[in-house]
């Protein structure tokens, strides 16, 4: 599993006005075309990527590391949205329980808990976009102009001006127009803050929540797709593409800081946007230097994009079917760095971190769309790493539907199965380096056999009375059902740490970090192997309750190998509360193989 071979599927962007092609798993190109791609040597001919060796092997006889020496502040640059083909099972005509697009005429008719008279947080009805009785099924445009989403830190003044003008015109539209800036922000609010129910699926008493499940990635991909088309139509430029914000690249946010620009938002932590982003943000600033943040950021990205996402469930999140709530858990990337970045940008002067730091108001900040453009890029990047890195084939996922307004004010019904290929949707991402692929965390210290000496000093899970409250650091020895697994066994199944039944206050920003075999009282840094991952959630409302329940998972196979603890009977798990954790309870901590 960790040594699979993957080929690059990264074609050059299709020319505007032509029909995108489906590309093979490797590509051949001339040296002149390659020179504009930071990934490759100027002498490359045909190149393939060895998934976890991260080297480009070229027929021209050269073998170069994919990552160049970069300015240490220009880190966490992405690889680009892949437009290559993916393997999918056929979609059956009869499915079990896909979530159907909501009936927007019923938006906001449910009473939610937590909304108090005079509170600054809007009522659920304020989340509702304009209603329409006419719904069109989505059809792929013919002869659509192919778009290349550019890296924000590389934008020209001309492009920034164009982006600013598009947002300005969107804000100037009448409030009754579904393309209006605030109405577009309402779309996100309605889908994640209790305004919609599953009435179209036959469950009017269960709300729709597009976070914390396998719907996170496809919903936001469709959301950006239509948002981008609206912006392009407003400036009469069908090639206009949303920039993506390369996290930890300060230059990527500088043009958002002009108070005279339509891209400016008064409800932001403007000081944060002038420095290096903290991808592990705990809700308050630390005294970490920029270099320390960079090291942690690179390691977090490696952990969340490589170690913890070895299969579709780990990447996309758990299943979410009609009649159910999304309690199986969000994917690794969604929980971190996606969520901490939201909160890092949000205004600390606001009660709930508005705008970007709260689900209901996130879409009111233009930076939201650049942030999620980069999140979407991670989906394409993850699929090229090979092995089990493929889209979900479950028909309930593929046939889940949403509704969005297009550039002509039409209400359009879309399906997950139609958004799996970026080239089919008519866009790709500018190529830039991906230094975190070679940023595997290193052990703080040798950890072989440490759990043996902790037996009797630290409780095993069978001796702990669950649920456990996370008002302080929790340490527990978790038995491993199987140790010393063979290479074949590891390739077939990942060893997973599961924290089950996490109940938290959904109206707070909550976060905790998880460490493995870290016996010291002061937790290891995030750039060290002992760090297993983070759980983080933004504030949001729910129908009839103020708490939510979900799960967390982290990959252990690579971690235990690096810690030389593959032969140990137990794993020491340390859960460290960071923000809003005083109300969190945990039902179980265990190890499984999947």
Please name every residue paired with 542 in a beta bridge, in sequence order, or none if there are none: 545
177-211 per-residue burial string, b: 16 or more CB within 10 A, e: under 16 = ebbbbebbbbbbbbbbbbbbbbbbbebeebbbbbb
Annotated catalytic residue: which of 342, 371, 540, 542? 342
Contact 234, 142 (CB under 8 A): no
Q: How far apart are CA 358 and CA 354, in angstroms?
A: 5
Annotated catalytic residue: which of 359, 368, 402, 552? 359
Q: How far apart are CA 29 and CA 292, in angstroms?
A: 39
Q: Which of 279, 299, 312 is nearest to 382 (CA)?
A: 312
Q: Is 338 in the active site?
A: yes
Contacts (Cβ under 8 Å, ≥6 apart) of 415: 138, 398, 399, 400, 401
Annotated catalytic residue: which of 27, 40, 181, 188? 188
Cα pseudo-dihedral 190, 191, 195, 198, rounded to 10: 150
Per-residue 3-state assignment (H helix, E strand, C coil) for 121-170 = CCCHHHHCCCCCCCEEECCCCCCCCCEEECEHHHCCHHHHHHHHHHHHHH
Tell me the two tokens of residue 549.
């329940």
Q: Taken in order 402, 174, 353, 262, is the CA torsion positive or negative?
A: positive
Contacts (Cβ under 8 Å, ≥6 apart) of 162: 235, 237, 240
Please name every residue paired with 494 in a beta bridge, in sequence order, or none if there are none: none
Q: Which of 24, 55, 23 is nearest to 41 (CA)?
A: 55
Annotated catalytic residue: which of 153, 372, 389, 540? 372
Neighbours of 323 (CB within 10 A): 11
Neighbours of 96 (CB within 10 A): 11
Tell me the two tokens of residue 244.
């993506």
Contact 449, 102 (CB under 8 A): no
Q: Is 220 in the active site?
A: yes
Contact 557, 487 (CB under 8 A): no
Annotated catalytic residue: which of 153, 186, 272, 338? 338
Q: Is 188 in the active site?
A: yes
Tell me the two tokens of residue 84.
């290559």
Q: How far apart are CA 335 and CA 589, in angstroms?
A: 18
Annotated catalytic residue: which of 153, 186, 211, 371? 211
Tell me the two tokens of residue 566.
């593959």
Q: How far apart are CA 82 and CA 476, in angstroms?
A: 41
**Burial class (CB within 10 angstroms; exposed 0-12, middle 13-18, buried 19+) of 94:** exposed
Q: Which of 155, 532, 224 is nearest to 375 (CA)?
A: 224
Q: Is 264 in the active site?
A: no
Q: Is 342 in the active site?
A: yes
Annotated catalytic residue: which of 153, 220, 389, 540? 220
Please name every residue paired with 266 in a beta bridge, in sequence order, or none if there are none: none
Active site residues per annotation: 188, 211, 220, 338, 342, 359, 372
């Amino acid at each position: 599993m960790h040594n699979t071979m993957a080929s690059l599927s990264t074609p050059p962007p299709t020319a505007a006005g032509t029909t995108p092609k489906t590309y093979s798993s490797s590509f051949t190109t001339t040296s002149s075309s390659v020179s504009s791609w930071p990934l490759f040597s100027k002498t490359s001919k045909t190149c393939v990527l060895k998934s976890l060796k991260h080297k480009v092997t070229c027929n021209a006889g050269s073998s170069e590391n994919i990552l160049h020496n970069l300015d240490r502040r220009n880190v966490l640059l992405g690889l680009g949205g892949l437009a290559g083909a993916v393997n999918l099972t056929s979609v059956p005509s009869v499915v079990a329980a896909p979530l159907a697009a909501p009936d927007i005429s019923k938006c906001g008719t449910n009473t939610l808990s937590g909304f108090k008279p005079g509170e600054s947080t809007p009522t659920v009805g304020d989340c509702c976009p304009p209603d329409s009785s006419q719904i069109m099924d989505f059809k792929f445009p013919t002869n659509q102009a192919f778009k290349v989403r550019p890296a924000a830190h590389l934008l020209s003044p001309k492009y920034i001006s164009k982006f600013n003008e598009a947002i300005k015109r969107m804000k100037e539209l009448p409030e009754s127009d579904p393309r209006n800036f605030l109405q577009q922000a309402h779309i996100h609010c309605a889908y994640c803050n209790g305004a919609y129910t599953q009435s179209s699926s036959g469950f009017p008493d269960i709300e729709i929540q597009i976070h914390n499940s396998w719907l996170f990635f496809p919903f936001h991909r469709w959301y950006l797709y239509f948002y981008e088309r609206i912006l392009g139509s407003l400036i009469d430029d069908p090639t206009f593409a949303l920039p993506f914000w390369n996290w930890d690249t300060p230059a990527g946010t500088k043009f958002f800081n002009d108070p005279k620009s339509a891209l400016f938002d008064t409800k932001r932590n403007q000081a944060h946007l002038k420095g290096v982003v903290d991808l592990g943000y705990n809700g308050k600033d630390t005294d970490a230097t920029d270099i320390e943040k960079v090291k942690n950021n690179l390691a977090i990205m490696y952990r969340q994009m490589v170690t913890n996402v070895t299969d579709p469930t780990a990447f996309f999140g758990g299943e979410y079917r009609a009649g159910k709530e999304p309690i199986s858990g969000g994917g690794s990337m969604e929980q971190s760095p996606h969520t901490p970045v939201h909160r890092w940008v949000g205004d600390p002067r606001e009660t709930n971190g508005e705008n970007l730091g709260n689900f209901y108001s996130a879409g009111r900040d233009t930076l939201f769309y650049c942030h999620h453009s980069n999140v979407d890029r991670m989906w394409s990047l993850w699929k090229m790493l090979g092995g089990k890195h493929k889209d979900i084939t479950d028909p309930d996922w593929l046939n889940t539907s949403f509704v969005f307004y297009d550039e002509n004010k039409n209400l359009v019904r879309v399906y997950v199965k139609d958004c799996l290929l970026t080239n089919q949707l008519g866009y790709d991402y500018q190529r830039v380096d991906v230094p975190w692929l070679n940023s595997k965390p290193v052990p703080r210290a040798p950890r072989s056999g440490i759990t043996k000496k902790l037996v009797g000093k630290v409780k095993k899970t069978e001796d702990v009375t669950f649920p456990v409250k996370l008002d302080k650091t929790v340490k527990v020895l978790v038995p491993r059902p199987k140790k010393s697994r063979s290479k074949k066994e590891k390739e077939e199944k990942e060893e997973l740490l599961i924290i089950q039944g996490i109940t938290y206050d959904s109206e707070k920003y909550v976060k905790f970090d998880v460490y493995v075999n870290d016996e010291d009282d002061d937790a290891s840094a995030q750039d060290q192997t002992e760090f297993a991952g983070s759980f983080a959630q933004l504030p949001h409302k729910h129908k009839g309750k103020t708490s939510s329940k979900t799960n967390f998972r982290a990959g252990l196979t690579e971690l235990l190998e690096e810690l030389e603890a593959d032969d140990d009977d137990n794993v020491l798990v340390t859960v460290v509360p960071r923000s809003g954790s005083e109300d969190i309870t945990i039902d179980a901590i265990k190890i499984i193989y999947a």
